[in-house]
């Protein structure tokens, strides 16, 4: 059902706080089955640390995705676009739950900086939404395109025998590509090259930090 309500700044603040608390503080629940079907294999300690690092980066990426979609849904002016953003956010919740489960299986944890990652992404998403729906969509399309590239590199970097992590990442990659296509089909604007470069630079900082913290 479409939601055509108009939110006041106070409404947006309270909704944002509630979404942040749920995303950062409460374990996520997936509506789809965990995509890894192979049995757990024996990993050496260095391999386990490597897999944990990459899955922690992926988990942070999903924290950021939740913040982006939630803020952009709140600022979207088109009710149909808002519904699409909310639908994508629900699918990203699956990714969040999958990453949490895989980190637990590896005996690891999420990033201790998750509140910071969420807040920064929420602000950026809100700015993109306020700029207008076509720029909102353009930001989604470019973000998801860069995420797909990151996930592809993770498939190359993960230990070859860690098939469970690979299966999770592969399904996430497929979903993110669909989100990018959704944004493009809905009328996404092409972002200027400097903004794309800035997004890549910010992503590199996040990736390198989240791998360890």
Segment 138-155, tens digit of pLDDT: 888 888 888 898 899 999
Q: Is residue 101 part of a domain?
A: yes
CATH at residue 154? 1.20.1260.10
* Domain containing residue 208: 54-212
Q: Is residue 193 part of a domain?
A: yes
The sign of the CA dihedral 63, 206, 174, 143 is: positive
- Any residues with CB less than 8 A from the CB of 15 and at least 6 apart, and which? 7, 70, 74
Q: Is residue 20 part of a domain?
A: no
Specify the number of domains making up the chain.
Answer: 1
Whole-model pTM: value is 0.81
Q: Is 213 helix (H, G, I), strand (E, B) or coil?
A: coil
Q: Is residue 43 part of a domain?
A: no
Q: Give the pair of three-digit tokens for residue 77.
A: 């002016």
pLDDT tens digits for 12-58? 556 556 665 666 656 677 778 888 888 888 889 999 999 999 999 99
């Amino acid at each position: 059902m479409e939601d055509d309500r108009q939110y006041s700044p106070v409404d947006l603040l309270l909704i944002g706080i509630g979404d942040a608390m749920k995303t950062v503080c409460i374990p996520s629940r997936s509506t789809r089955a965990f995509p890894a079907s192979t049995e757990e294999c024996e990993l050496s300690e260095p391999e386990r640390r490597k897999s944990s690092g990459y899955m922690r980066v992926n988990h942070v990426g999903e924290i950021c995705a939740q913040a982006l979609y939630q803020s952009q849904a709140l600022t979207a002016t088109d009710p149909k676009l808002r519904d699409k953003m909310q639908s994508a956010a629900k699918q990203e919740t699956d990714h969040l739950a999958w990453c949490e489960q895989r980190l637990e299986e590896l005996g690891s944890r999420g990033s201790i900086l998750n509140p910071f990652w969420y807040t920064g992404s929420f602000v950026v998403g809100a700015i993109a939404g306020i700029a207008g729906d076509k720029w909102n969509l353009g930001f989604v399309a470019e973000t998801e395109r860069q995420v797909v590239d990151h996930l592809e590199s993770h498939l190359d970097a993960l230990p070859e025998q860690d098939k469970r992590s690979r299966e999770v990442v592969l399904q996430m990659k497929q979903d993110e590509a669909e989100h990018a296509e959704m944004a493009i089909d809905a009328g996404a604007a092409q972002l200027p090259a400097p903004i794309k470069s800035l997004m890549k630079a910010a992503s590199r900082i996040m990736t390198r930090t989240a791998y360890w913290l």
